[in-house]
Amino acid sequence: MINIPGYHLRETLFSSALSTVVRGTRASDGVPVVVKWLSVSSPNVKSLARYRYAWENARDLDLAGVAKVYDLVHVQDRPALIMEDIGGQSLRHLVASRGQLTVLESVAIARQVADALGRLHGAHLIHRDINPSNIVVTPDLSRAMIIDFDISTRLLREQISATSAQLLEGTLAYISPEQTGRVNRATDHRTDLYSLGVTLYELVCGQRPFLGSDPLALVHSHIARPPVPPSKQNARVPEMVSRIICKLMEKTPEARYQSGFGLSHDLQRCLDALCQGEPVAPFTLGERDVSPWLQVSQRLYGREAAIKTLLQTFARAAAGSKELLLVSGFPGVGKTRLVREAVRDVSLRNGRFVSGKYNQLQNVPYAGVIQALRNLIRDILAGTTDEIAAWRERIGGALKLNAAVIVAVVPELALIIGEPNPPPMLDPSESLSRFQRVMVAFVRVLASKEHPLVLFLDDLQWAGGNSLALLQAMLSDPGQSHLMVIGAFRETQATDSLRIKQWRGGGRSPSRAQGPIS
C-alpha cells in the first residue's frame, strides 16, 4: 500500500506492473477517493506525460456522470491522480464477478453513459477510450461514471495517421474506424459513440462484435465488417435495442448518432418499455438527435472517377504489378485528400501505405522517399518479435554487405538488422550508383504479395533530379512487384481541376489518363 500525506488509503483495487489503484479517504474532510498511481519502477516520459495530460483535461470538469479529478500529487517521484470515488467498480470487473447483465440493466447503464458523453462533448472534450474498463458503476447499478482521460482531446476534429495497430491509442477492440487511421476521416466526438456501441453490444450479447486477438484482424473488422445484429446473437435483445446498437456502430460517422443526448432519448424509450415488462414498440431512431456542433461532411463529392482510377491502380499493384499514379492540380484542390481515399483499401488487403513530403526550403536529396521508408521501418518495429525476426532475415538477405548504405539514411533499420559494417569507399559517381541500386533492392524486399506497398510522395514538384532518378530506377526494376508509387504535385499550367496520370511498369512514359477530372 502506497502512502500519500493527507490521505488514508485502505484497499487496493487493482495492481499491475504499470499502475496501482487504491481506495481511501481524504484526511481533511473524509471525502472518499480513488488513487491511481504510476507504479512502474522506471517510467518513461510518455507514461509521465499521460498522467499530467489526464489531470489537465479533467481537473476543471464538474459534470454528472464524469469522474472528478481532485489533484495530481507525486509519490516516490511518480505521479498519482486523486479521483472521485462513488463506491463502485469498473463495468468489466462487475460483469466478471456477477456474470452477464440483463438487457434492462445494460440499457440503463448505457443511457447514463450516453448522457455523460453528451455533457462531456458539450464541454468540448472527446474521451477516445470508452470501454467497460473506463466505466465505473455502483453495486446496485444506480450510478455509472466515465473515468480515465489520459488520451482524451479537446480538438473538435483530429486526423489520425495510419500506423501500426500495436501503436494505436485507445483499446483496439472498441475503437472506431476513423480512430484506426486507415480511413479518410478525421476523428470527432462520434468516435466515443461508436465505442459505446461496441460496449453495449458486449453487455447485451455477452461477447464483443469482433472477436480475436490479432490486431490487424480487429482493425479490418472495424473498417469493413458489419456486426451481426445483437438480436440475432441473443434472442432476448429487443429489435429496437439491436437497431440502436447497429446505428452506433455504423462505419461512417455521418450514419451514427450525432450526440449522446439523442442516443439517451432513444435508450430511455426502450428503458420505459422494459421497466414495464412490455415489448419495445417500433419508433424512428434519432428523432431528437442533434449534433452539438455544425458538422461538415467529410465525404468526397465529384471525385468518383478519380477514386475509381486510384483503387483500380492499387488493385493491379496488389495483384503483382508496379504502378505509378500522378495527381496534379493547384494547391487546395484536394490532391492529398483524394490519395488518402486509398488507405482503407490498402489496409483491407494487408498492405502498407507510407508517405513522405518534399519541401521547397529543405532541398535534401531523396527526402520524401527517405521519410516514407523511415515511417515504414517504425511501423515494422512495432510488430511482434517473430515478425521482426522474419524481416531481419529478409532485409539482411537482400542488402547483404551494403546494409550500411541504407542505415545511413534510415537509422531505424539498425534496430532490426543490427549495426552493419561500413561499406567499401567509392568515388562520388560510383557511390551514387550504389546508393540507388541498394535502395531499389531495399524497396523490392519491402513490397511483397503478402504486404503490397503504396509509396505516396507529396509535393513532388520540389523533388530533385536524384529523387526522380531513384523513382525511375524503382519502376524500371524487372524484379520489382506489388508496388504502387503515387506522386502529388502542383501543375502550374493546370486549371483548378484535378488531373491524374498513370503509368504501368513496362518502360513507356507516363501518359494522361482520362484527361482532367473536375
pLDDT tens, residue by residue, 72-130 = 999 888 899 999 999 999 999 999 999 999 999 999 999 999 999 999 999 999 999 99
Across 385-401, average pLDDT: 91
Compute the distance between CA of residue 370 and CA of residue 355 in angstroms, rounded to an integer.
Answer: 10
Task: Give the mean pLDDT of the chain.
Answer: 88
- CATH number assigned to the domain covering 304-517: 3.40.50
Which helix (H) or strand (E) covers residue 388, if one does? helix 385-399
Which helix (H) or strand (E) covers residue 152, if one does? none
pLDDT tens, residue by residue, 162-181 = 666 666 788 999 999 999 88
Across 242-261, average pLDDT: 96
Compute the distance between CA of residue 166 and CA of residue 149 in angstroms, rounded to an integer.
Answer: 20
8 A C-beta contact, residue 500 and residue 325: yes
pLDDT tens, residue by residue, 283-308 = 999 999 998 877 777 777 778 888 89
pLDDT of residue 167: 67
Local confidence band at 507 (pLDDT 50, 70, 90 cut-offs) = very low
Q: Measuring CA to CA, which residue among 139, 145, 91, 141 is closest to residue 116? A: 145
pLDDT of residue 76: 85
Enumerate the domain spans of the chain.
7-84, 89-275, 304-517
Q: Give the residue, 498 or 262, on which the prediction is more confident.
A: 262
Dig out the grid coordinates for 20 from the structure: 496501482
Strand intervals (E) in 192-319: none
Local confidence band at 345 (pLDDT 50, 70, 90 cut-offs) = confident
pLDDT of residue 384: 82
pLDDT tens, residue by residue, 426-445 = 888 888 899 999 999 999 99
Sequence letter at residue 269: R
pLDDT of residue 27: 93
pLDDT tens, residue by residue, 320-340 = 999 999 998 888 788 888 888
CATH class of the domain comprising 89-275: mainly alpha
Compute the distance between CA of residue 256 and CA of residue 244 in angstroms, rounded to an integer.
Answer: 9
pLDDT of residue 168: 78
Q: Please, is 414 exposed, middle or buried when counting C-beta atoms within 10 Å of its C-beta (0-12, 13-18, 19+)?
A: middle
pLDDT of residue 508: 43
The reply to whether 7-84 and 304-517 are identical in fold is no
Across 299-319, average pLDDT: 88
pLDDT of residue 342: 80
8 A C-beta contact, residue 222 and residue 347: no
Across 414-436, average pLDDT: 89
**Would you say residue 357 has pLDDT above 50?**
yes
| High-pLDDT (> 90) share of the chain, % | 62
**Would you say residue 403 has pLDDT above 80?**
yes
Give me the CATH topology for the region 7-84.
Answer: Phosphorylase Kinase; domain 1 (3.30.200)
